[in-house]
Structure formats: structure tokens, C-alpha cells
Amino acid sequence: MTITQLIYVLAVAEHKNFTLAAEKTFVTQPTLSMQIQKLEEELEVQIFDRSTKPIQPTAIGQVIIQQAKKIVNESDRIKDLIDLEKGFIGGEFKLGMIPTIAPTLLPMFLKTFLNKYNKVNLIIEEYTTEEIIQKLRNGYLDAAIVATPLEESDIKERVLFYEPFVGYVPANFRQEMGAELHQGDLDLRKLLLLQDGHCFRDGIINICNSKSTAESKNFKLQSGSFETLINLSKEGLGYTLLPYLHTLSLNQDDKNNLIQFADPKPAREISLIYTDNELKLQIINALYEVILSIIRGAIAFQDVKIISPKKNQ
């Protein structure tokens, strides 16, 4: 049994396909298949049921996969321990981000971080918050940037900034609003929301007044794009809320449709998160400091009310 064989097993378990698993581990499909078969022969068990589509682990295979995760994670940490002892800031680092943060935050800090820490191989992947939590626990991600608080006992949260919600309200809905938005002004029946699964959607629902707890539009929107929400708003189909950083890149016509909330402004808390046993702290600290130094100049709001990103809060 080798660490490499266990890595191949984990790749197949994740992607549920031998060909895709081989691509992700940078080997040929026959090589990957042969190594997994050798491991099965050594253990005298079948790890995967190859007759199913997609491929699924057998009952004993699930047990082996869980143990393989622990073994591979611990083997990876040997190098992490050495780097930590030496104070070396470099190597591969997998960072997760939720889709409603990545497009605006990444361009602000990525170039600066890579220029300052050019020995870090930063791999950035977008996932929902639920997926990020799971991948952090499995050791697939080293850290992530998400909306908090999550209140997960095994995950540490380091707050980066508070990002206010901003109303995007076209002229035909302005008669319902004043110069500033108040939480009681919002009607969930007229709000255009991102598709289910986005914590930004859940945060907006938590902002809304309890008197409007159900959507009653005669269409259902399944979109993860703020641009789609803006365009539908301009067509008179409703209004929406946007994260503050997203509003900075809007054209002037769109900025004319923005309404700020009255103080305290409802806001989402954005944090860098990682597990308790994370050893790549030197990279986490560097990432935190770079983002913090840049974002301070972009968001100056102080009087905010943190809205939970979790459902039914």
C-alpha cells in the first residue's frame, strides 16, 4: 500500500469517474486503474463498484476512503510542519471562496498577494458555504473566504470586513421607498433573489420584514448572477439587494438606482476561515494581512448590523 495509491482512491471517490480522476491527478487512466486494482488485490476487497454510473464505493470501500483521507492529510502535514518551523511562506495553498465574493474581492488583492509571496502556488476554487465547510473538514481546502458567523466549533473565523447590503431600486419602485432604505420597507414578494443555496440569498431573507415571508411571483428565477438580477429589475420585474463591493463597478445609470440603508446598515460579515488543525498558518496569516490592508480603503462603514448568512435566523 502506498500514499500514491490512496491519493488515486480519493480522486475516484471525489470525481466518481476513473478518467476524470486520472486527469486531476496528472496520470494516465490505465496507470490509475492499475494502481487501484493492485491495492484491491493486496487488501482482498473491492473498493469501487465499477458497474454503477457514476462509480460508487462499496460498503468496505467507504471505510477505506475515510481512513485514506486521514492518512493522506497527515502525510501532507509533514511538509507543512517543516515549512512552519522554518517560517517558509510558499507551496501549494487551496483557497475556497463563495461565488458572491470572488468576482469583486479577488481582483482587489490577488495581484498584490502573488507579487509579495511569489513562492505560493495559490489555487482558488468557488463553492457554496456548505461545500466549503465539508472540503475544509476533509482537508481538500486549506482555507476559505465566506460570509460568517457560521458557528461551527471546529472552524476558526477571522473577520476581514463588514460589507453592507445596498438596494437596487428602479424608478417605478421608488414611490414605496424614502431617501434611505429601512428593513421594514422590503417586500419579499417584490425582491429578486439569487437561486437557493447562496448564503447571500439567505441573508436577504433574514433582512426582510416578517410580514412578507413568501415569494409570490409568477416566475421562478434560478440564477447565481447579480447582473441578471439587475437586468430584470430594470425591466420592472422587481428590485434587489447587492453587496456593497459589487456596486463600485456599476455604470452611472445603474448607480442612480442605488439606495443605501439607514444606519445601522444591514451587512454581511466576511471572514477568512480554516480548521483548528490547519498547519499552513504562515500562508493564512499572510493572506489575512494582505486582504485587510487593501480592503480598509474600500469599505469605511462603521455603523452596521450583522445579518446571519444561515437560513431561518
Domain ranges across the chain: 1-80, 88-160+266-304, 163-264
Which pLDDT score is estimated for 223?
A: 58
**β 120-126/155-168 pair status:** unpaired
Q: Which CATH number, 3.40.190.10, 3.20.20.60, 3.30.365.10, 3.40.50.2000, labels domain 88-160+266-304?
A: 3.40.190.10
Q: In 269-281, which positions are buried (b, 16+ CB within 10 angstroms) versus exposed (e)?
A: bbbbbbbeebbbe
132-187 tens-digit pLDDT: 999 998 888 999 999 999 988 889 999 999 999 998 988 888 777 778 888 877 87
How does the average pLDDT of the chain come out, rounded?
A: 85
d(CA 137, CA 152): 11
Cell 507579487, residue located: 115
In the predicted model, is pLDDT for residue 210 greater than 60? no
CATH class of 163-264: alpha beta
Between residues 70 and 197, which one has the greater pLDDT? 70
Give Cα separations from 249 to 101, 125, 293 (angstroms): 14, 23, 20
Q: In 98-119, which positions are buried (b, 16+ CB within 10 angstroms) versus exposed (e)?
A: bbbbbbbbbebbeeebeeebee
Domains 1-80 and 88-160+266-304 share a fold: no
Q: Which CATH number, 3.40.50.2000, 1.20.120.430, 1.10.10.10, 1.10.3720.10, labels domain 1-80?
A: 1.10.10.10
Residue 200 — φ and ψ, nearest 5°? Answer: -65, -40
State the average pLDDT over residues 67-89. Answer: 75
